[in-house]
Amino acid sequence: MLDRKNIIAALLATCLLTLSPAALRAGVPTEQVRQTADQVLSVLQDSRLKSADKQKERREQIRQIIGSRFDFGEMAKRSLGSNWQKGNNDEQRQFVQLFTELLEKSYSDQIESYDGEKIVYGRENINQDQADVDTKIVTKKGEQISVNYKLRSAGNDWKVYDVVIENISLVNNFRSQFNRVLANASFAELLKKLQSKSVEIKPVRS
């Protein structure tokens, strides 16, 4: 079972890991993921940004890089499923913003703890405007974590809209939590819970 730390670490693993040579031979979705990883690693390894007083600048650069690859708006919408329609336009915009902030806060707390984990790329499948990229994270202890990235085409880019970690979907994880809240609360009350940070990433049993 994945705990909160492992879920976030796996979500962002692509942005932190030493990529295998196979990635260089992969198709466009994997190649774009590799480019994102290179950019994040460049920030993490920049000696000018390593000091504590540069943390805010460092994290902002990483936030922008990851935000260009992950479609947090689509992830937010999918995490609500049919409940998305319960919010008006303004509430939907607020939800996307709060959902994005929740993920950004979580990965900001974890992303700088990179400790030499490696990634092995497997199957890449493209079906029209959808793609899957299978990977395995290998820790220093030799433990393997399967991570599947689901992407959709957005012009010339491929955007991540879900991450499946050891057969647990991040989007479905959130949906289960949001469904429980919305079963007895309004959309506005869900927003209040997100604003108060009372909704967190928790493990969901498969």
pLDDT tens digits, residue range 51-74?
989 988 998 998 899 899 999 999
* Domains of the chain (ranges, CATH numbers): 4-195 (3.10.450.710)
The residues pairing with 121 across neighbouring beta strands, listed in sequence order, are 135
Q: How confident is the model at residue 102 (pLDDT cuts 50, 70, 90)?
A: confident
Listed as own residue / partner, the contacts of 76-80 with beta carbons closer than 8 Å and 24 or more positions apart are 76/100, 78/161, 78/162, 78/171, 78/175, 79/171, 79/174, 79/175, 79/178, 80/175, 80/178
d(CA 53, CA 48): 10
pLDDT tens digits, residue range 113-144?
767 777 777 889 999 999 998 888 888 899 99
Average of pLDDT values for 89-115?
85
Question: Is the predicted pLDDT of residue 20 greater than 70, yes or no?
Answer: no
- State the amino acid at position 195 in one-letter form: Q
- Looking at residue 25, what is its pLDDT? 46
Q: How confident is the model at residue 203 (pLDDT cuts 50, 70, 90)?
A: very low
Order of strands, edge to edge, in the sheet holding 118-127?
118-127, 130-138, 144-154, 157-165, 168-169
Q: Which helix (H) or strand (E) holds 25?
A: none
- Looking at residue 152, what is its pLDDT? 96
If one counts every other C-beta atom within 10 angstroms of the C-beta of residue 143, the result is 9
67, 70, 72, 78: CA torsion to nearest 10: 180
